[in-house]
Amino acid sequence: MRFADYAKLYLKAGDGGAGMAHFRREKYVPRGGPDGGDGGSGGSIKLEGDAHMNTLLDLRYKKFLKAKKGQPGGSSQKTGKRGEDIVLRVPLGTVAYESETRRFIGEVVEPGERLVLAKGGKGGLGNTHFKTATNQTPDYAQPGEPGEEVVVEIELKLIAEVGLVGFPNAGKSTLLSSLSAARPKIADYPFTTLEPNLGVVQMSDHRSFVMADIPGIIEKAHEGKGLGLRFLRHIERNKVLLFVINGMSDVEEEYRVLCNELHAYRKDLLDKPRLVAVTHLDLFPDHKMEEQPVLDVAFVPVSAVSGFGLDELKEHIWEMLHGNGQK
């Protein structure tokens, strides 16, 4: 298993170290005042964005994590050593939720960006802090605070400008490989694509955009049918949705079903700009369909095999990303 877009982690941040109750005692200072140092803070558990990663697979083997405690304070107002943080590197586009309540913790979208999942406890104050005019020799210090303990769910939502949406065997993987340098697995059976694939589409004038091949959606995918539900979340970050439909099928009906599935999963997905690529035009004489489908969005007939319509498709997508939206 090379790809994982979900992990559940049980986390315990480090407890803070206790402050120290201590008094200065030197040869010529028999009645020195309090000089107990503060305890060190406990280690936190964090996510860090890594642009070179594309899976959460590593986290699947790190279910239980516990950060180190802070060290107690010392004499001469020495602060205890801070507990070491645990930093988990994750792909860009990773989001975190508290498992029980589904409270949104945050997301990591930039390289090097860090997100605290469980915060280490503060170190306790040494007795130096409790000296007053009426109490010159406080003999107590604070204990350290406990570190946060939480169960979190980590999800990966791929960051790609264009998402390919379609049924299994619609030709999404073939289209992605023709438009970019990506080489997804391609075969003539359902669910060839078991993981999202990313490709960079290069155009003239040094223009480019990132396209994601989302595993095939089937009817009732939003109810957990097939593989669609596992990957519908990746569509959430796409700026443009490119519906890929086999021209030998009922284009209008497949488009309707796909729209219904996206709407049932999350209503606002259909607010994104949409475009339809009707594939397999090489199977039609002169690359011309017998009947033109009637759709509520623009469509571009293409053939990934012969290259027919691919330049037009790329320009249309670019205009939707950077121009005036849908044509």
Mean pLDDT of 96-100: 94
Contacting residues for 234 by C-beta, under 8 A, at least 6 apart? 5, 156, 157, 158, 160, 163, 196, 212, 214
- What's the pLDDT at 215? 74
Mean pLDDT of 128-156: 93
Per-residue pLDDT tens digits for 118-136: 999 999 999 999 999 889 8
**Per-residue confidence band for 218, with pLDDT thresholds at 50, 70 and 90:** low
Residue 221 has pLDDT above 70, yes or no: no
- What's the pLDDT at 181? 61
- What's the pLDDT at 326? 44
- What's the pLDDT at 104? 94
Neighbours of 270 (CB within 10 A): 12
Residue 192 has pLDDT above 50, yes or no: no
More confident residue, 230 or 284: 284
- What's the pLDDT at 226? 44
Going from the C-alpha of 56 to that of each of 113, 182, 189, 237, the distances in angstroms are 16, 20, 27, 17
In the chain, what are the domains?
Answer: 6-156 (2.70.210.12), 162-322 (3.40.50.300)
Q: From its phi and psi, is residue 262 left (phi > 0), alpha (psi between -120 and 50) or beta?
A: alpha
DSSP one-letter code for 319: H
Mean pLDDT of 251-260: 92
- What's the pLDDT at 60? 83
HEC per residue, 88-109: EEEECCEEEEECCCCCEEEEEC
Per-residue pLDDT tens digits for 288-322: 887 888 999 999 999 988 999 999 999 999 999 98
- What's the pLDDT at 183? 52
pTM of the model: 0.68
Dist. CA 37–CA 59, nearest whole Å = 37
The distance from CA 102 to its chain's CA centroid, rounded to whole angstroms, is 15
Report the chain's mean pLDDT, rounded to a whole number: 85
Per-residue pLDDT tens digits for 49-73: 998 887 888 898 889 999 999 999 9
Residue 281 has pLDDT above 80, yes or no: yes
Residue 191 has pLDDT above 80, yes or no: no
Task: Give the tokens for residue 97.
Answer: 């939720």
- Assess contact for 167 and 247: CB atoms under 8 A: no
- What's the pLDDT at 228? 46
- What's the pLDDT at 220? 53
- Assess contact for 303 and 309: CB atoms under 8 A: yes
- What's the pLDDT at 209? 87
Residue 217 has pLDDT above 80, yes or no: no
Q: Tell me the residue length of the chain.
A: 327
Per-residue pLDDT tens digits for 155-166: 888 778 898 888
